[in-house]
């Protein structure tokens, strides 16, 4: 940990510490939010690639959790011994915040990494992960 994050909590103004030394703004016990804005805002609707950035501390998120929603966008694709190798994109509605993460992961075998399983976006290093996972499986036998 090293010093203060660039931004304080947007809601309460509390100073936040950086979770990582090399980070400009990765708050410890807080979350950074970024947006290009969108149609409808009279404050921020960027078309030039510039994001609006704010941090909110975990205490404020918990205190006002009835004002939050969550939106499952993908299920992680997991292989034993190597971890996440891709994302399976899902179409689900945004729902009020429940505090419970959807833990539905797609678990596959090492040999399936990079194959055509539909709607899966493989990690950029999927080929190397496939080799690593297959080698790890062979060593375990």
User: Residues interacting with Zn ion, by CB under 5 A?
Assistant: 9, 11-12, 14, 57, 60
Q: At its nearest, how many Å lie between Zn ion and the CB of residue 44?
A: 21
CB of 17 to Zn ion, least distance (A): 13
Q: How far apart are CA 123 and CA 64, in angstroms?
A: 35
Of 48, 45, 25, give the one whose Cα is nearest residue 35: 45
Give the whole-angstrom CA distance, residue 113 versus residue 129: 8
- Please report which residue ranges of the chain form alpha helices under DSSP H: 58-63, 126-140
- Cα-to-chain-centroid distance, residue 1: 21
CB of 70 to Zn ion, least distance (A): 19
Query: Which CB atom, from 60 or from 110, has the smaller least distance to Zn ion?
Result: 60
Of 65 and 119, the one with the shorter C-beta distance to Zn ion is: 65
What is the spatial distance between Cα 25 and Cα 129, in angstroms, rounded to a whole number?
30
For 12-130, where are the E strands, in sequence order? 30-35, 52-57, 69-70, 74-79, 83-89, 95-96, 106-108, 120-122
Q: Which is nearer to Zn ion, 64 or 73 (CB)?
A: 64
Q: Which is nearer to Zn ion, 10 or 122 (CB)?
A: 10
Min CB(101)–Zn ion separation in Å: 22
Q: Which is nearer to Zn ion, 60 or 126 (CB)?
A: 60
Least Cβ distance, residue 7 to Zn ion (angstroms): 11
């Amino acid at each position: 940990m090293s010093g203060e994050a660039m931004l304080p909590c947007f809601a309460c103004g509390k100073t936040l510490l950086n979770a990582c030394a090399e980070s400009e703004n990765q708050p410890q016990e807080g979350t950074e939010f970024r947006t290009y804005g969108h149609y409808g805002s009279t404050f921020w609707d960027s078309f030039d690639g510039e994001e609006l950035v704010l941090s909110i501390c975990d205490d404020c998120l918990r205190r006002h959790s009835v004002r939050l929603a969550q939106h499952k966008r993908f299920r992680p694709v997991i292989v034993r011994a190597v971890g996440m190798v891709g994302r399976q994109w899902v179409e689900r509605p945004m729902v009020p915040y429940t505090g419970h993460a959807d833990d539905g992961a797609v678990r596959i075998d090492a040999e399936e990494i990079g194959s055509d399983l539909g709607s899966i976006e493989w990690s950029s290093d999927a080929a190397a992960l496939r080799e690593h996972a297959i080698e790890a499986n062979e060593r375990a036998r």
